[in-house]
Amino acid sequence: MSTNNMSTSSMSTNNMSTNNMSANNDPKSMSDALPYDDFMKSLLPMFSGPQVTIRVGENGPAYHISKNILCTNSPYFSAMFAAGHFKEGAEDSAVLEEIEGVVTPGSFQALVQWLYRGRVTFPVSLEPKEEISQILEFVRLADMAGVTGVDDAMSERLRAQPVDVPPPPNSHPIPSYPPTWYPQPPLPPNAQPLPPHFAQNFPFNAQAMGMAPRHPNHPPPQTSSHRTPGQNTAYITSLHIAHASELHPDNPVRRMVAKAAVEGYLRNPDFEFQDNVTDTPSFARDLLREVQETLHGPEAGYFVDPITGKAFLVGS
Protein backbone atom coordinates (compact mmCIF):
# COMPACT_ATOMS: atom_id res chain seq x y z
CA MET A 1 0.00 0.00 0.00
CA SER A 2 2.71 2.38 -1.05
CA THR A 3 1.98 6.07 -1.16
CA ASN A 4 3.45 6.04 -4.68
CA ASN A 5 0.31 4.26 -5.80
CA MET A 6 -1.85 6.98 -4.36
CA SER A 7 -1.77 10.57 -5.52
CA THR A 8 -3.75 13.32 -3.88
CA SER A 9 -5.51 14.05 -7.13
CA SER A 10 -6.81 10.50 -7.34
CA MET A 11 -8.43 10.98 -3.97
CA SER A 12 -9.94 14.41 -4.59
CA THR A 13 -13.66 14.92 -4.42
CA ASN A 14 -13.64 15.71 -8.15
CA ASN A 15 -12.93 12.06 -8.77
CA MET A 16 -15.67 10.92 -6.44
CA SER A 17 -18.69 11.84 -8.48
CA THR A 18 -21.50 9.33 -8.59
CA ASN A 19 -21.71 9.92 -12.34
CA ASN A 20 -18.76 7.60 -12.72
CA MET A 21 -20.46 4.75 -10.90
CA SER A 22 -22.00 1.71 -12.49
CA ALA A 23 -25.24 0.28 -11.14
CA ASN A 24 -23.39 -3.01 -10.62
CA ASN A 25 -20.69 -1.56 -8.35
CA ASP A 26 -21.81 -3.21 -5.14
CA PRO A 27 -19.06 -3.04 -2.47
CA LYS A 28 -19.67 -6.63 -1.39
CA SER A 29 -19.42 -7.99 -4.95
CA MET A 30 -16.29 -6.21 -6.10
CA SER A 31 -13.01 -8.06 -6.40
CA ASP A 32 -10.74 -8.39 -3.37
CA ALA A 33 -7.87 -7.51 -5.69
CA LEU A 34 -9.22 -4.03 -6.43
CA PRO A 35 -6.21 -1.64 -6.24
CA TYR A 36 -6.44 1.21 -3.78
CA ASP A 37 -6.61 3.98 -6.41
CA ASP A 38 -9.48 2.21 -8.21
CA PHE A 39 -11.15 1.60 -4.86
CA MET A 40 -11.07 5.31 -4.09
CA LYS A 41 -12.48 6.22 -7.52
CA SER A 42 -15.18 3.57 -7.79
CA LEU A 43 -16.36 2.83 -4.25
CA LEU A 44 -16.07 6.02 -2.25
CA PRO A 45 -18.55 7.91 -4.48
CA MET A 46 -21.22 5.38 -3.47
CA PHE A 47 -21.44 6.89 0.00
CA SER A 48 -23.10 10.29 0.15
CA GLY A 49 -23.29 12.72 3.03
CA PRO A 50 -20.81 15.00 4.81
CA GLN A 51 -17.15 14.20 4.43
CA VAL A 52 -14.08 14.90 6.51
CA THR A 53 -10.58 15.49 5.23
CA ILE A 54 -7.72 13.70 6.93
CA ARG A 55 -4.01 13.96 6.24
CA VAL A 56 -1.35 11.64 7.63
CA GLY A 57 1.45 14.09 8.36
CA GLU A 58 1.37 17.81 7.58
CA ASN A 59 2.40 17.28 3.96
CA GLY A 60 0.69 13.95 3.39
CA PRO A 61 -2.04 13.26 0.83
CA ALA A 62 -5.61 14.33 1.63
CA TYR A 63 -8.11 11.56 2.31
CA HIS A 64 -11.78 12.53 1.87
CA ILE A 65 -13.83 10.11 3.97
CA SER A 66 -17.51 9.77 4.80
CA LYS A 67 -17.93 11.37 8.20
CA ASN A 68 -20.81 9.06 9.06
CA ILE A 69 -18.89 5.87 8.24
CA LEU A 70 -15.75 7.03 10.01
CA CYS A 71 -17.40 8.28 13.19
CA THR A 72 -19.94 5.45 13.44
CA ASN A 73 -17.20 2.83 13.44
CA SER A 74 -14.50 4.62 15.42
CA PRO A 75 -14.94 6.14 18.90
CA TYR A 76 -11.59 7.87 18.39
CA PHE A 77 -12.68 9.75 15.27
CA SER A 78 -16.20 10.26 16.64
CA ALA A 79 -14.73 12.21 19.55
CA MET A 80 -12.32 14.06 17.26
CA PHE A 81 -15.03 15.31 14.91
CA ALA A 82 -17.76 15.90 17.50
CA ALA A 83 -19.31 19.34 16.95
CA GLY A 84 -18.16 22.03 19.32
CA HIS A 85 -15.45 19.99 21.04
CA PHE A 86 -12.30 20.37 18.95
CA LYS A 87 -10.98 22.40 16.06
CA GLU A 88 -11.25 19.28 13.87
CA GLY A 89 -14.98 19.09 14.49
CA ALA A 90 -15.52 22.70 13.46
CA GLU A 91 -13.46 22.37 10.30
CA ASP A 92 -14.20 18.71 9.46
CA SER A 93 -10.50 18.40 8.83
CA ALA A 94 -7.62 16.80 10.75
CA VAL A 95 -3.93 16.07 10.47
CA LEU A 96 -2.79 12.84 12.08
CA GLU A 97 0.75 12.79 13.41
CA GLU A 98 2.73 9.96 11.89
CA ILE A 99 3.69 7.31 14.45
CA GLU A 100 6.15 4.67 13.33
CA GLY A 101 4.51 1.28 13.19
CA VAL A 102 1.02 2.67 13.86
CA VAL A 103 -0.09 5.78 11.96
CA THR A 104 1.28 5.71 8.42
CA PRO A 105 -0.24 6.36 5.00
CA GLY A 106 -0.36 2.61 4.43
CA SER A 107 -2.13 1.80 7.69
CA PHE A 108 -4.67 4.58 7.14
CA GLN A 109 -5.39 3.40 3.60
CA ALA A 110 -6.01 -0.09 4.99
CA LEU A 111 -8.31 1.36 7.66
CA VAL A 112 -10.35 3.20 5.04
CA GLN A 113 -10.75 0.03 2.97
CA TRP A 114 -11.85 -1.89 6.06
CA LEU A 115 -14.44 0.71 7.02
CA TYR A 116 -15.96 0.77 3.54
CA ARG A 117 -15.63 -2.87 2.51
CA GLY A 118 -14.97 -4.97 5.59
CA ARG A 119 -11.78 -6.32 4.04
CA VAL A 120 -8.36 -5.12 2.98
CA THR A 121 -6.36 -5.65 -0.20
CA PHE A 122 -2.61 -5.27 0.13
CA PRO A 123 -0.52 -4.70 -3.02
CA VAL A 124 0.59 -7.97 -4.59
CA SER A 125 4.03 -6.44 -5.04
CA LEU A 126 4.68 -6.46 -1.29
CA GLU A 127 7.30 -8.90 -0.05
CA PRO A 128 6.04 -11.14 2.79
CA LYS A 129 8.02 -9.21 5.42
CA GLU A 130 6.55 -5.94 4.16
CA GLU A 131 3.04 -7.33 4.22
CA ILE A 132 3.48 -8.48 7.82
CA SER A 133 4.63 -4.95 8.66
CA GLN A 134 1.54 -3.54 6.94
CA ILE A 135 -0.73 -5.94 8.81
CA LEU A 136 0.73 -5.01 12.18
CA GLU A 137 0.55 -1.28 11.43
CA PHE A 138 -3.07 -1.62 10.35
CA VAL A 139 -4.04 -3.65 13.41
CA ARG A 140 -2.36 -1.20 15.76
CA LEU A 141 -4.07 1.78 14.08
CA ALA A 142 -7.45 0.01 14.24
CA ASP A 143 -6.80 -0.68 17.91
CA MET A 144 -5.99 2.98 18.53
CA ALA A 145 -9.11 4.08 16.65
CA GLY A 146 -11.36 1.53 18.37
CA VAL A 147 -12.33 -0.14 15.08
CA THR A 148 -13.48 -3.70 15.74
CA GLY A 149 -13.48 -6.89 13.70
CA VAL A 150 -9.97 -6.42 12.33
CA ASP A 151 -7.98 -8.69 14.64
CA ASP A 152 -9.39 -12.10 13.73
CA ALA A 153 -9.22 -11.41 10.00
CA MET A 154 -5.63 -10.21 10.18
CA SER A 155 -4.48 -13.06 12.42
CA GLU A 156 -5.70 -15.50 9.76
CA ARG A 157 -3.92 -13.39 7.16
CA LEU A 158 -0.73 -13.87 9.15
CA ARG A 159 -1.33 -17.62 9.38
CA ALA A 160 -1.66 -17.73 5.59
CA GLN A 161 1.75 -16.18 5.03
CA PRO A 162 3.99 -18.52 2.96
CA VAL A 163 6.02 -20.78 5.23
CA ASP A 164 7.27 -23.48 2.85
CA VAL A 165 10.46 -21.61 2.03
CA PRO A 166 13.74 -23.21 0.91
CA PRO A 167 15.99 -24.23 3.81
CA PRO A 168 18.81 -21.84 4.64
CA PRO A 169 22.23 -22.54 3.09
CA ASN A 170 24.32 -25.11 4.97
CA SER A 171 21.29 -26.20 6.99
CA HIS A 172 21.04 -29.79 8.18
CA PRO A 173 17.77 -31.43 7.13
CA ILE A 174 16.09 -33.69 9.62
CA PRO A 175 16.61 -37.34 8.60
CA SER A 176 13.77 -39.69 7.73
CA TYR A 177 13.98 -42.77 9.89
CA PRO A 178 13.38 -46.20 8.34
CA PRO A 179 10.90 -48.46 10.08
CA THR A 180 13.66 -50.47 11.76
CA TRP A 181 13.04 -51.86 15.21
CA TYR A 182 15.42 -52.25 18.07
CA PRO A 183 15.07 -53.82 21.52
CA GLN A 184 13.12 -51.54 23.77
CA PRO A 185 14.91 -50.15 26.82
CA PRO A 186 13.01 -50.50 30.09
CA LEU A 187 10.43 -47.82 30.80
CA PRO A 188 11.04 -45.43 33.69
CA PRO A 189 9.35 -46.82 36.83
CA ASN A 190 6.66 -44.15 36.90
CA ALA A 191 5.99 -43.90 33.14
CA GLN A 192 2.35 -44.26 32.11
CA PRO A 193 1.23 -46.01 28.90
CA LEU A 194 0.57 -43.70 25.99
CA PRO A 195 -3.07 -43.10 25.06
CA PRO A 196 -4.15 -45.33 22.13
CA HIS A 197 -4.75 -42.38 19.77
CA PHE A 198 -1.22 -41.13 20.38
CA ALA A 199 0.75 -44.35 20.66
CA GLN A 200 0.47 -44.90 16.93
CA ASN A 201 2.10 -41.58 16.10
CA PHE A 202 4.54 -40.95 18.91
CA PRO A 203 7.89 -39.70 17.55
CA PHE A 204 10.42 -42.44 16.94
CA ASN A 205 13.18 -40.91 19.06
CA ALA A 206 10.97 -41.15 22.16
CA GLN A 207 11.58 -44.92 22.21
CA ALA A 208 15.30 -44.35 22.54
CA MET A 209 14.53 -42.33 25.66
CA GLY A 210 12.61 -45.24 27.15
CA MET A 211 9.40 -43.28 27.33
CA ALA A 212 6.98 -45.60 25.61
CA PRO A 213 6.89 -48.90 23.75
CA ARG A 214 5.73 -48.97 20.14
CA HIS A 215 3.87 -51.83 18.59
CA PRO A 216 5.80 -53.40 15.65
CA ASN A 217 2.80 -52.88 13.38
CA HIS A 218 2.95 -49.12 13.92
CA PRO A 219 5.97 -47.72 12.05
CA PRO A 220 7.31 -44.32 13.03
CA PRO A 221 6.12 -41.33 11.01
CA GLN A 222 8.39 -40.17 8.23
CA THR A 223 9.81 -36.79 9.10
CA SER A 224 10.28 -34.14 6.44
CA SER A 225 13.70 -33.97 4.82
CA HIS A 226 13.27 -30.29 3.86
CA ARG A 227 11.25 -28.78 6.68
CA THR A 228 13.92 -27.04 8.72
CA PRO A 229 13.12 -25.53 12.13
CA GLY A 230 11.82 -21.97 12.17
CA GLN A 231 10.16 -21.78 8.77
CA ASN A 232 6.99 -20.41 10.37
CA THR A 233 8.99 -17.31 11.29
CA ALA A 234 10.94 -17.05 8.05
CA TYR A 235 9.47 -13.60 7.35
CA ILE A 236 8.98 -12.40 10.93
CA THR A 237 11.50 -9.93 12.32
CA SER A 238 12.40 -8.71 15.79
CA LEU A 239 10.62 -5.45 14.96
CA HIS A 240 7.44 -7.38 14.15
CA ILE A 241 7.65 -9.06 17.55
CA ALA A 242 8.16 -5.72 19.27
CA HIS A 243 5.18 -4.16 17.48
CA ALA A 244 2.92 -7.15 18.15
CA SER A 245 3.86 -6.99 21.82
CA GLU A 246 2.29 -3.52 22.01
CA LEU A 247 -1.15 -5.05 21.44
CA HIS A 248 -3.37 -6.49 24.18
CA PRO A 249 -2.09 -9.90 25.41
CA ASP A 250 -5.26 -11.61 24.15
CA ASN A 251 -5.19 -9.92 20.75
CA PRO A 252 -5.33 -12.69 18.09
CA VAL A 253 -2.64 -11.02 15.98
CA ARG A 254 -0.24 -10.79 18.92
CA ARG A 255 -0.94 -14.42 19.76
CA MET A 256 -0.44 -15.52 16.15
CA VAL A 257 3.06 -14.01 16.11
CA ALA A 258 3.90 -16.00 19.24
CA LYS A 259 2.31 -19.17 17.81
CA ALA A 260 4.53 -18.87 14.74
CA ALA A 261 7.59 -18.97 16.99
CA VAL A 262 6.63 -22.17 18.86
CA GLU A 263 7.92 -24.65 16.28
CA GLY A 264 11.34 -23.02 16.00
CA TYR A 265 11.61 -22.63 19.77
CA LEU A 266 10.91 -26.31 20.43
CA ARG A 267 12.96 -27.72 17.54
CA ASN A 268 15.94 -25.40 17.25
CA PRO A 269 18.48 -25.16 20.08
CA ASP A 270 19.73 -21.97 18.41
CA PHE A 271 16.32 -20.30 18.45
CA GLU A 272 16.42 -17.23 16.21
CA PHE A 273 14.54 -14.96 18.60
CA GLN A 274 16.26 -15.94 21.84
CA ASP A 275 17.34 -12.32 22.34
CA ASN A 276 13.70 -11.25 22.08
CA VAL A 277 12.77 -13.78 24.74
CA THR A 278 15.46 -12.31 26.98
CA ASP A 279 14.89 -8.63 26.23
CA THR A 280 11.12 -8.53 25.74
CA PRO A 281 9.33 -9.98 28.78
CA SER A 282 5.94 -9.67 27.10
CA PHE A 283 7.10 -11.86 24.20
CA ALA A 284 8.58 -14.36 26.64
CA ARG A 285 5.19 -14.62 28.37
CA ASP A 286 3.40 -14.95 25.02
CA LEU A 287 5.74 -17.70 23.84
CA LEU A 288 5.47 -19.60 27.12
CA ARG A 289 1.69 -19.42 26.89
CA GLU A 290 1.62 -20.81 23.35
CA VAL A 291 4.21 -23.51 24.12
CA GLN A 292 2.13 -24.64 27.08
CA GLU A 293 -1.03 -24.83 24.97
CA THR A 294 0.85 -26.74 22.28
CA LEU A 295 2.27 -29.28 24.72
CA HIS A 296 -1.12 -29.80 26.32
CA GLY A 297 -2.80 -30.51 23.00
CA PRO A 298 -4.38 -33.84 22.01
CA GLU A 299 -1.01 -35.23 20.85
CA ALA A 300 0.74 -34.66 24.17
CA GLY A 301 3.69 -36.91 24.97
CA TYR A 302 6.15 -37.58 27.73
CA PHE A 303 8.79 -35.28 29.16
CA VAL A 304 11.69 -35.97 31.47
CA ASP A 305 11.73 -33.90 34.65
CA PRO A 306 15.14 -32.17 34.76
CA ILE A 307 15.19 -32.40 38.57
CA THR A 308 14.25 -36.00 39.22
CA GLY A 309 15.06 -37.52 35.84
CA LYS A 310 11.66 -39.23 35.84
CA ALA A 311 9.30 -39.33 32.88
CA PHE A 312 5.81 -37.88 33.06
CA LEU A 313 2.97 -37.58 30.59
CA VAL A 314 2.30 -33.94 29.80
CA GLY A 315 -0.87 -32.84 31.54
CA SER A 316 -0.98 -35.87 33.85
- Tens-digit pLDDT string for the chain (316 aa): 433 443 333 333 333 332 333 334 444 445 556 666 666 666 665 566 889 999 999 998 899 999 989 999 999 999 999 877 788 888 999 999 999 999 999 999 999 999 988 999 988 899 999 999 999 999 999 999 999 999 999 999 999 876 555 555 444 544 444 443 334 445 555 555 555 544 444 443 444 444 444 444 444 444 454 567 788 999 999 999 999 999 999 999 999 999 999 999 998 888 999 999 999 999 999 999 999 998 887 776 778 888 888 888 887 6
Q: In angstroms, rounded to a whole number, what is the distance separating the alpha carbons of residues 283 and 33?
A: 34
pTM over 0.85: no
Check if CATH label 3.30.710 holds for domain 3-125.
yes
**Cβ neighbour number for residue 99 with a 10 Å cutoff:** 14
What is the pLDDT, as a whole number, of residue 9? 36
What is the pLDDT, as a whole number, of residue 316? 67
Q: In what order do the strands lie in the sheet with 93-96?
A: 62-66, 51-56, 93-96
Nearest by Cα to 110 from 89, 135, 128, 90: 135
Local structure of residue 11 (DSSP, 8 states): G
Residues sharing a CB contact under 8 Å with residue 255, sequence separation 6 or more, in sequence order = 155, 286, 289, 290
**Cβ neighbour number for residue 38 with a 10 Å cutoff:** 14
What is the pLDDT, as a whole number, of residue 237? 96
What is the pLDDT, as a whole number, of residue 96? 95
Residues sharing a CB contact under 8 Å with residue 234, sequence separation 6 or more, in sequence order = 128, 162, 163, 165
Yes or no: say if 286 and 248 are a contact pair by the CB < 8 Å rule: no
Strands 93-96 and 51-56, by their bridges, are: parallel
What is the pLDDT, as a whole number, of residue 193? 55
Radius of gyration of the chain (CA): 26
What is the pLDDT, as a whole number, of residue 216? 46
